[in-house]
Amino acid sequence: MRRRVITTAAVIGTLATAGVAAAAGGGPPPGPPVPDPAGIIDLPAGYSYDILSTSCVDEVTSTESGTTFPMPEDFDANVLFPAGKGKQWLLSNHELTEPRPGDFTGDAAKCTVDEQATFDDGDSDAWGSVSRLTLAKDGTTVLASELITTGLHNLCAANPTPWGTYLTNEEFPFGRRLVSNDPEQRSGWVWEVNPMTGEATRITGMGWFSHEQADYLNKRLWFLTDDQGDWRFIYRFVADRKGNLGDGKLYGLDFNRASQTGRWVGPLDPFDPHADMVARGYVPEVDGFSKAEGLVANRQRSWIAFTESGEGVMDAGRVWRLVGKGKKVRGEVLAEGDWINFSRPDNLRYAPSGDLYVMEDHGSADRAGHPEINAGEDVWILPKGKKGTENMIRFANTPAEPTGPWFHRNGKVFYLSLQGNPSRVIAISGNFRK
């Protein structure tokens, strides 16, 4: 289904922004979100959205088996790739840990019982998948819907590589106490997916843990977050060769929150880097971060920004910046959660303007402990060059969980997944360069 909703100025003023900072480039900041008659997402006046895909409603054809399925639920990451002749591919993750009604079960490439018994592609045969929408030049018209990769587990955030492949992350919450659920370590990895063929290759060197997201500062240097849901470490993967992730070394960050400085420890055992860090004497609650989530580099690849979502009713979370390509790094808090406005940061992405867009993700315990939290989930903008929650601008509000932010290079389209009932991928049209 493709539906466009345009906000109007007639109802502006019913909601307020938290900040008044100017947008990058000196233009005025977006106004407050305007209630959406369809109840999908509230956006400022002058912004509109198209629904590109809806789970369970739309049909998707597997490129592996040729079978047609209902579009899987729980859209997450979105990344745009060129498809030739002016077309584009929008790859999206599906964050599934179990089969849902109508979904395929396991790996769609395994069509028969004999194939299931003899075919082994190294994954866990679970329900996480990658879908591919072919878009017209406008970036909002869907020409085809395909399922290109299956058999992975609970796919969360993703990022592209400099050489045009797709790194998808298995956020499989195994934990040391749940290792018996996956004794062969089939889940909990980063996979490199070819956008054209859907072929997935496991990146063993990036470690076995509950991955949220990975991004790079150069073709050899990658940073990763562990979203087990408690205190964990930030990791760095250094590839042996540029443009090839097949071999490399993994390091964990020993971070001092008082001095906001850290150093890399390792190389670590990629088959259990968390246990390796602990065995070396590092304590997650002292040297790590509380529920690290999304992680992205700025457009100049000079630093990494990531969210520490926090846990418990006392910690509203924060957004960090890490600077340093050598053995030591410096950290800085860009925005501190305050519950009243901004809290529980999760996904994030830099816009073409240099502004940082941050998505919220609250649980029922948050709202029970803090009734002052806005209904639904907010999308915030931290303008380029600004720091502090007081400078953040409330851009959107949605009853679903907003995930998978991605910007078209033309600066006019913002892709977003909404994990609701149903789950959707939408394209928000507006000016994201100003």
Mean pLDDT of 29-50: 96
CA dist., res. 381 & res. 153, Å (int): 31
DSSP states of 71-91: PPS-EEEEEEEEEETTEEEEE
Phi and psi at 272, nearest 5°, equal -170, 70
Coil vs helix vs strand at 234: strand
- Evaluate whether residue 288 is within a structural domain: yes
Under the phi-then-psi rule, with left for phi > 0, alpha for psi from -120 to 50, and beta for the rest, what region is 346? alpha
- Evaluate whether residue 294 is within a structural domain: yes
- Evaluate whether residue 233 is within a structural domain: yes
- Evaluate whether residue 220 is within a structural domain: yes
Confidence of residue 27 (pLDDT cuts 50, 70, 90): low
- Evaluate whether residue 117 is within a structural domain: yes
CA dist., res. 325 & res. 217, Å (int): 8
Give me the residues paired with residue 211 across strands.
226
Flag whether pLDDT at 366 surpasses 50.
yes
Q: Sheet of 377-382: strands edge to edge? A: 345-350, 356-360, 377-382, 393-398
The whole-number pLDDT of residue 172 equals: 87
Mean pLDDT of 168-191: 77
Residues 6 or more apart whose Cβ sits within 8 Å of residue 406: 77, 78, 79, 80, 90, 349, 414, 415, 416
Question: How distant, in Å, are the alpha carbons of 97, 181, 213, 284 from that of 176?
Answer: 18, 10, 20, 14
* Least confident among 17-21, 115-119, 215-219, 246-250: 17-21
The whole-number pLDDT of residue 184 equals: 85
- Evaluate whether residue 337 is within a structural domain: yes
**With contact defined as beta carbons under 8 Å apart, do 133 and 72 qualify?**
no
Residue, of 2 and 185, whose pLDDT is higher: 185
Amino acid letter, residue 212: E
The whole-number pLDDT of residue 21 equals: 40
The whole-number pLDDT of residue 97 equals: 82
- Evaluate whether residue 181 is within a structural domain: yes
Query: pLDDT by residue (tens digit) across 272-290?
Result: 999 999 999 999 999 999 9
* Least confident among 124-128, 178-182, 251-255: 178-182
Coil vs helix vs strand at 250: strand
The whole-number pLDDT of residue 120 equals: 75
Query: pLDDT by residue (tens digit) across 411-430?
Result: 999 999 999 999 999 999 99
In this structure, what CATH number is given to the domain that contains residue 232? 2.120.10.30
Mean pLDDT of 254-259: 97
- Helices marked H in 107-243 — which ranges? 113-118
Residue, of 353 and 109, whose pLDDT is higher: 353
Query: pLDDT by residue (tens digit) across 1-26?
Result: 344 444 433 333 333 333 334 444 45
Neighbours of 137 (CB within 10 A): 11
Amino acid letter, residue 262: G
* Least confident among 7-11, 158-162, 292-296: 7-11
CA dist., res. 185 & res. 208, Å (int): 8
Flag whether pLDDT at 74 surpasses 80.
yes
Total of domains in the chain: 1
Range of the domain at 370: 4-429
- Evaluate whether residue 182 is within a structural domain: yes
The β-bridge relationship of strands 328-336 and 345-350 is: unpaired
Neighbours of 4 (CB within 10 A): 11
DSSP states of 291-350: SEEEEEE-TTSS-EEEEE---STT---EEEEEE-SSSEEEEEEEEE--SSSS--EEEEEE
